[in-house]
Amino acid sequence: MVGPPGSPFPIFFFFSRPFPIVLQTDTGTEIIKIASLPAVVTADLRLNEPRYATLPNIMKAKKKKVDTKDAADYGVDLAARNTVEEVYEPPPRAAGILVDDVDQLVDKLKNEASVL
């Protein structure tokens, strides 16, 4: 399960069959394996609890070397495929009107705008 941190919508990826599902019951947790697709998987509120980084893990992450690669290392072409033909602003909006009371508003909505 992955998803943006703090997101209420977890995303499930199933790469192999059978895939395990962890159920929380009154007596603990139970793991079942679902072998066939499609399957309906629901989630509860406890999936939304964020994982907080601890200080030792933050210090380890600072020391870890980060490898950088170019797009060419992955065989990706970054050439522009789209061209901008024209850019223009939308036309200005017409000025609104002020009404004095609700009756006048209802009258304008019925007769002029044909909304009601």
Encode pLDDT of 1-36 as tens digits: 444 454 444 455 666 678 777 777 778 778 888 877
E runs forming strands in 3-110: 19-25, 28-34
Structural domain for 34, as ranges: 1-73
pLDDT over 90 for what percent of the chain?
A: 28
Specify if 3 maps to a domain.
yes
Entry field: residues in the chain: 116
For the chain, what is the domain count? 1
Give the pLDDT band of residue 115 (cuts 50, 70, 90): confident
Specify if 12 maps to a domain.
yes
Specify if 102 maps to a domain.
no
In tens, the pLDDT along 31-87 reads 888 877 777 777 776 666 777 899 999 999 999 998 999 988 999 888 888 888 999
Tell me, rounded to whole angstroms, the distance of Cα 35 from its chain centroid. Answer: 28
Specify if 15 maps to a domain.
yes
pLDDT higher than 90, residue 104: yes
